[in-house]
Chain A
C-alpha cells in the first residue's frame, strides 16, 4: 500500500471530516497559527447536521433555530487559514513512524498525504434498523429525509409515516409540519417506561432540560396539528410488490395495517467505525449507546498523535462535537508548542462543559435505547442488504459452526458488498452474541482493511497529481 514517499504531500495536522467537530478543530488550529489540511467526503462544509448551511434551501422556520449556529461555525471556518479539500475520500490511512500516511481520492485521482498528527472527525451514521421489507423502495431513513430537506428543500409528495425512537423522529415530524406537509402518523417504538426515566433521574434530567423541553415542544405541536402518535408497538413490517404499499405493526398484541407510500425510519445514530477499525484501534462495546466505540483517553486521544472526536467517537450531538473538536485542537497545540495560560483556561472550561453534557447524554441514551432486537426479527428479515442475506441465512451459518464475525463473513459473504459491512456489521455481531451467549466484546467485529471507501480499479490505477505543498 505504501507509495513512493517523495510523491506525497505533507501536512503538520490532517483532519478528516468537515462536520461540527472538524470545523471547530480546524478553526481553532488556524487561530494558533497551525494550518491544517481538512479532507471531507462532501462538496460543502457542515457535515450532516449543518448540510447546505451556506446556501440554505429551506427557511429557518422549517429547519429550526439550531441550524443558524451552523452558519456561524462555517463562516468562521471559511475565514480561517485552512487547506480545505472537499469532495475528497480518504480511502486508506496507515501509521508511518510517529505520523500517518493517507490515501486521498479527489476527482478520480488518488494522492498520498503524510501528516504528523491526525484528528478523525468523520462523524456518525444512522443505526441500521432491519425489519421485514426495509429494503423496499419507499422505505428510507429519517436522516435521508433531512438530507433532502436541507439540500434541496424537498418534501414528500404524499404524507409519510415516521417510525422509530429518538429525538430525530420528532424533529423531522416537526420540520415537515412547519413546511405544511405533516406526517400521517408517528409510530413511536420507545417503550413507555423509558419515557418516565427523566422523573427518576432528576439530576440528569436537569442537565438534559434543554433537549427535553425542545422534544416536548415538538411533540405537543404535532399532537395539536392532529398527527397521531402511536405507542406500544413491538413488531413492524413493510409490504409491497415493487415499492412500499402497506405497513403492518403489532400494537398491544393486535396487528394493524395502514397504506403507506413513504416510511421514514430512525432508531438513533452510531459512530461510523470503518476508519478507526482499519487503523487497528481498540473498540469496546458501549451498552448505553449500543455500539462499538474507539477507546480514547482523557485527552480524546486514541493513540500517539491521533485524536478521535465528535459523533465518530461517541454520540454526543453537534454542540459536544464542536467542543471536542476544539479540545483536540488544543491538545495538538499543546503537543506542538505548548499552551498559554489562557489556552489552558479555555481547555479546562470546555472539559467541564463536556462533562455536564455527557451526563445529560446518559439519560437520552437510556430513554432511546434501540427498540426491536435483531434476534427477535422474523427470519426473512434482510440483515446484509448488499448481499441480500436474511437473519435466517446468518442463523443457518451460525448453526453450521460460524463462531465469530470473520467466519460468518467467510461462510455467507455477509459484509462483503459495496457498503463494506457498514449496514450489517453490528447486527451480525449482536446476532452472534445472542446465539453464542457471549458479550459483543467477546464476539468482536470483523476486520476492516483498506479501501475504507469505495474506489474503482480505474481510480486506483490513476496516479495523483503531485503538488509540492510542503508546509
Chain B
C-alpha cells in the first residue's frame, strides 16, 4: 500500500462517525487531563485502557493517542495562567508563559502555544506518514540479533534520558526487568519465580502493572492534596495573537517542530525532554537570552510546539519497531496487545486500519484542538477547579474496577495495588517509575531475542555483529555508554529551566 492509497484508506477509517466521535472524546479528555494538575497523560491513558476492550483496534488507539496530544495542549493552560503545569511537558511554560500572563498577555501566550502546537503536530504527523512505512520495511529484515541489540540500546537510552540520576534510573530498570522475568521462560517455558501460584504462571499482567505504577502511585503521592484547596486570581487577556506575533515566533515554531519530532523518537524521550531542549535552544539562538524568564513569546511557542510534535513522533518507534519510547506509549503498547495486535514491523502491513486510521485521526484531532482551544478556554479553566478529593475518589474506583475488568481476575487488582505501592515508594526515594514500565516491556524483548540468537548461532557471541545493522547499533550503543560514563551531560543540563520547573517535573513520570 503506497502512501496515497494509505491516506485514502486512513481517511475512510478516521471519518467514520464512531472514530470521529472518539477522536473528539480523546482530545477533550486529553485537554482536561492537561488542565488538571496531578493526573498526567500516562496515568490517564492507563485508566482509559479498560474502556478500549470492547472498541475496534483503530478506535481504541485513536482515542488513546488523542488523550496524549490533547494533554500537550491542555497542559499549557494551567502553566500559563496559574504557574502549575497540568502535566510535565508544559513545565517550561510556567516560566515565560506565566510571566506573560502577569503582564496581561496570557491570551497571546496561549494563542501562540496553540498555533505552534498545531504546526508541530502537523509536521510530526507528516514525518510519521512519510518515514514509518519505510522504517517498518527496513525493520522487517531485522532478525533476533538486531532486535536484541536494539532493545539493549533502548534500555540504556531510557536510563540516560529519564529524569534524575542515571544510577537511579538503572535501578528502576533493574526492578522492571526482574518483575518481567516472573512467569514462563521464553525459550524453555519453565516457570520462573511463580512460587506455585497459578495466577503467576503467565507472568504479571502488563496493564495491571501500568495502572498501578502510573495511576495508583500518582494518586498515593498526591493523597494529602485532596485536603488543601486554596484560591488565587488571574486574568487572561486578548487571545488571538497578531500577525506580527506569529511572524516573531515562526522560527521558534520551526525549530520546535524539528526538535520535538526528533526527540520523540528516542527511548526515554517525548514531550518533557523535547520542551526542555527547545527552551534551551531558543535561549541560545535568542539575541537577548537574558530576557528569558521574563515573558519571551518564543520561550513559550518553541517548547509548546516541541512537546506536541514529540507526543506524535513517539508513535514512530512503536508502530514500526514495536518499541514504546516512553510511558504513555508503553500503555498504548498494552492496549494494542489487548486488541490482539503485537506492535512490530508487521503492524502497518497487517493492520493498515490501525496505522492509517490513527495517522489521519491525528490531523483531525490537532485541528479540533486548535479550534476548540481558544473558545473553550474558560471551560477548561473551570475544570481545574474540580475538587482534587472528588477526582481522587473517581480515580481510585476506576483503578480498582479497571484492573478487575482486564481478565475478571481479582489477582490483577492485587498486582495493580502492589505495583502502585512499589511505584509510590520508588518516587519517594527519587527513583523515576517510567523506566520500570519500559524495562518491563523491553526486557522480555531483549532476553528472548538475545537467547534465541545464541541458540541459532550455537552459542557464538559474534552473532550480534553479524549484519551491518547490528554493527551500527552496537557502535551507537558503545557511544551512548561511553558518553554517559565520561560526560554524563548528555541530557543537555544547560537546557534546564531552573530549579522550580525541575522540582515540578520530577513528580511526573
Q: Are A and B bound to each other?
A: no
A-side residues, CB < 8 A to B, are none
